[in-house]
Amino acid sequence: MGNQQISRSAYRIVMLVLLAVLFLAVNMFSNVMFRTARVDLTENRLYTLSDGTKDVVSQIEEPITLRFFYSEKLSTDYNRIRIYAGHVRDMLEELRARSGGMIRLEVIDPEPFSEEEDLAMSLGLKGAPTQSGDVIYFGLVGTNSVDGLESVPFFTDEREQYLEYDVARMIQNLSRPERPVLGIVTNLPLDTGTGGLMSAMRGESLPFMIYEELRDRFELEFLEQQFEAVPSRVDVLMIAHPRPLDPRTLYAIDQFVMKGGHVLAFLDPHSEVSLTAGPNGEPIRGYTEMSDLGPLLTSWGVSYNPREIVGDRGMAQRVRTGLDARRQESDYVIWLAVPRGNVATDDIVTSDVVRLNLGTVGHFRPIEGATTRFSPIVYSSEDAKLYDVDYVKQGPRPDDLLRGFEGTGERYAIAARISGPVQSAFEAQPEAQALDEEGRPARRSGERAGAHVAASQSDANIILFADSDIFDDRFWVRTDSYLGERIAQPIADNAVFIMSAIDNLMGSNELISLRARDKIDRPFTVVEELRRTAERRFLAEQEALERRVAEAERNLTELQIRGAAAEANGGTTEAEAEAIARFRAELLDSRKKLRDVQRDLRRDVEALGANLRFVNIALLPIVLAILALGAAVLRHRRRKARIEKGA
C-alpha cells in the first residue's frame, strides 16, 4: 500500500516536471517561430496596420531611425498618458517588425537632468510640466541617413485618431529624397489668414490650419495669377478660388492638363471666406467674391453656373440666431453639413470622409456628349433647391430661407472627378493682351509656353469642388494653444478631403486610408428628421397664428377706437361690446396656441429620447434578467432530471 502511494506521488511529480518542461519548450518555440504573428481583438482594430501604412513601410530604401521619447517613470500617476503611450509603442513595434530591418526603434526615458532630456530638448520636443515641477516628454523623432528630421513634439489626445497617419507620414517624408511639389493658384489668404498681407507685415498673421498641413506635407510653389506655363517641377496644380484669369493664364493651365498634369480646383459662386472681415472690419484688399474657369470647364466636359447657389434642407447646418428666446438655433439651408451618406464611398478620395462643413456652394453638371467621364463624389440630398446669388447677397434670415422651401428632388454635384481624354480649349496660344508702360507685352512670371498640344497625352485626372469655404478654419476646426503651438481639433473632415485629393492626384495613395481611421460617427438621423419635421410644422403654424394675432389686434384696436368715440357720443352699442370681447378672446386663444406650438416644438424628439433611455436603461437589463432566469430554471430542471434518472 505504501509503495503504491510512493509510486503515485513520484508519478505526479514527474508529470508536473514534464508539463513545466513542455510549457517552456512551447514558449521558446513560439518566440522563435511566431515572433511576428499577432492577433488584434480590439473593436476598432487599433493595432492593425492599414494597407497604406504597409505600402509605405515596404517602400523604404534607406534605413530610418525612430526615437520614441517617453517619460515612463514620471507618468505613473497619469493613467491617460500611460495608456496612450502603450498604444504608440505597440504601433512603433509593429512598424519596426514589418520593415525588414529598415526601421530602427529606440525607446528613451528622458529622466530629469539627464543627457536624454537634453537630447529631447535639442531635437525640438515639447515637455508637459507636472504639478511636482518635473517635465514629461511624450514625442517621436525620426531621422534618415541624409540628415532629414521629422518629429511629433508631443502626442496629444486631440490627435490620437490620426496617430497612424502622423507616424506613416513621418516615415514617408523621411523615405523620400524630395517632397512632391504642389503648385497653388489662389486669391485666398491661405498663408496669412483673414488679416491678409498687412497683418503678416505686422507679425500678426495666423495662417489657415490647412496651409500648415500643406506646408508640412508638400513643397509649395505659389504661382502669380498671370503666368505663361505651369512650372515643370509642379506635380499637382491646386486652383483655390482664383481671381479672374486672363486667356494666356487659362491656356497655361489647359496645356498643363494636356501634358498629363493633374488639377484640383475649388471654385465658388459666393465665397464666404473671401468676404470675412479683417482687422479693419472689411474684407482684405483685392478679394474675389466669385470664381470661374470659363472655357476650361467646357473643354473638360463640365457645366458650371456661378450665379446658382445650392440650398439643402436635409443637410442644413444649425446656426445660432438668438432671435427667439425659445429657439436659439435654426437650420441655415445655404450652409451645408454633408454627411457620410452624401459622399462617394467607392472613390478613394472620399472613402474616409464622414462629414464636410461647407459655406454657400455651387454645383456642376456633365455636358452631354463630352469625351470625359463625370463622377460626382460630393452631392446634395434630394431635398435641395437653387438660389440666385443676388438673393443670397441680400442676407436672408434662416427662417426666411426655410419658409416656402420646396426641394426639386434632384441631387446636385458639389464635387466631381473628371477623367478621360480631353481636347484643348484653345486652337493656339492666345495673343498677349496686357501691355507695359512702353507698349510692349507685360512681363509674365514663370516658364515659357512650349509647343501647342491639342489633345491630352493621357487621360485627364481632375477634381472639381464648387466651394472655397472648405478652407476656412471656422467651418471645420477648433484650435487651442498648447505649449506655444496651435493644436487642431477637427470637427469636420474638410482637411481630410483636401489632403486625400492631393495625395490621390500625386499618385501617392498610401496615406489616404489612414486619416481619422478610428473616428466613429453615428449621427441620430431619426432624431434629426423628427426635429426638422417638427420645426417645419412649427414655422408653418407660427406664421398662420402670427397672422391671426396681428389681425385680431388690428380689429380690436379699430373697435376700441370706435368704442372710445362712441362713449364720447353717448356709449357703445351692445354689438360693439360683444365684438370687442370676442376679438379679445380670439387674441388670447391665438397667443395661447402660439405658445403651445413653441412649447411642443421638441415634443416628438423628447418622446423618442425617453423611449431610447427606457430601452438602454431598463429594457435591456430586463431582457437579460429574463434570459438569465430562464437559463437558471433550465439548469435546475436538467439537474433534477439527472438526479431522478440516477435514483
- DSSP character string of 96-162: HHHTTTSEEEEEE---TTSHHHHHHHHTTPPEEE-TTS-EEEEEEEEEETTS-EEEES---GGGGGG
Average pLDDT over residues 478-486: 70
Contact 392, 333 (CB under 8 A): no
Overall pTM surpassing 0.75 (yes/no): no
Q: What is the pLDDT of residue 3?
A: 56
Nearest by Cα to 238 from 220, 217, 265? 265
Average pLDDT over residues 458-468: 94
Q: What is the pLDDT of residue 388?
A: 95
β-strand pairing of 181-186 with 149-152: unpaired
Q: What is the pLDDT of residue 522?
A: 47
Residue 495 has pLDDT above 70, yes or no: yes
| Residue 459, C-alpha cell as written in the block | 487621360
Other Cβ atoms less than 10 A from the Cβ of 321: the count is 14
Average pLDDT over residues 535-564: 68
Q: What is the pLDDT of residue 194?
A: 67
Beta-carbon contacts of residue 340 (< 8 Å; ≥ 6 apart): 353, 354, 355, 521
Nearest by Cα to 272 from 416, 470, 415, 490? 470
Question: How deeply is 371 buried, as exposed, middle or buried, from its count of CB atoms within 10 A (0-12, 13-18, 19+)?
Answer: middle
The larger pLDDT score, comparing residue 193 to residue 302, is at 302
C-alpha–C-alpha distance, residues 165 and 496, integer Å: 11
C-alpha–C-alpha distance, residues 385 and 409, integer Å: 8
Nearest by Cα to 273 from 533, 471, 445, 120? 471
Beta-carbon contacts of residue 191 (< 8 Å; ≥ 6 apart): 200, 205, 207, 208, 211, 222
Q: What is the pLDDT of residue 19?
A: 74
| Residue 190, C-alpha cell as written in the block | 491661405
Nearest by Cα to 127 from 157, 88, 155, 97? 155
Average pLDDT over residues 493-501: 92
- As beta bridge partners, residue 10 has none
Q: Which of 15-29, 159-173, 632-646 has the highest mean pLDDT?
A: 159-173
- As beta bridge partners, residue 339 has 355
Angle subtended at Cα 553 by Cα 549 and Cα 557, rounded to the nearest 5 degrees = 175
| Residue 449, C-alpha cell as written in the block | 509656353
C-alpha–C-alpha distance, residues 378 and 436, integer Å: 44
Nearest by Cα to 251 from 3, 32, 444? 444
Residue 318 has pLDDT above 50, yes or no: yes
C-alpha–C-alpha distance, residues 303 and 138, integer Å: 51
Residue 235 has pLDDT above 60, yes or no: yes
Q: Collapse the DSSP code of 408 into the 3-class scheme (helix H, G, I; strand E, B; otherwise coil) and give the result.
A: coil
Query: 439 falls in which pLDDT band (50, 70, 90)?
Result: very low
C-alpha distance from residue 456 to each of 202, 206, 259, 300, 326 (Å):
46, 40, 6, 11, 59
The larger pLDDT score, comparing residue 14 to residue 473, is at 473
Query: Tens of pLDDT along 32-85?
Result: 555 445 555 455 555 677 877 888 888 888 899 999 999 998 888 888 899 999
Residue ranges in 365-420 assigned as alpha helix (H): 389-393, 398-402
Phi-psi region of 241 (alpha: psi -120 to 50; beta: other; left: phi over 0): left
The secondary element (H helix, E strand) that includes residue 358 is: strand 355-358
C-alpha–C-alpha distance, residues 31 and 10, integer Å: 32
C-alpha distance from residue 250 to each of 48, 295, 426, 449, 455 (Å):
46, 8, 9, 12, 16
> What does the mean pLDDT of the chain come to?
80
Q: What is the pLDDT of residue 605?
A: 59
Average pLDDT over residues 387-391: 95
| Residue 601, C-alpha cell as written in the block | 416644438
So what CATH class is 51-165? alpha beta
Q: Which of 163-172, 315-324, 360-369, 497-506 has the lowest mean pLDDT?
A: 315-324
Q: Which of 108-122, 256-270, 366-380 has the lowest mean pLDDT?
A: 108-122
Query: 601 falls in which pLDDT band (50, 70, 90)?
Result: low
C-alpha–C-alpha distance, residues 576 and 566, integer Å: 10
Other Cβ atoms less than 10 A from the Cβ of 308: the count is 17
Residue 569 has pLDDT above 60, yes or no: no
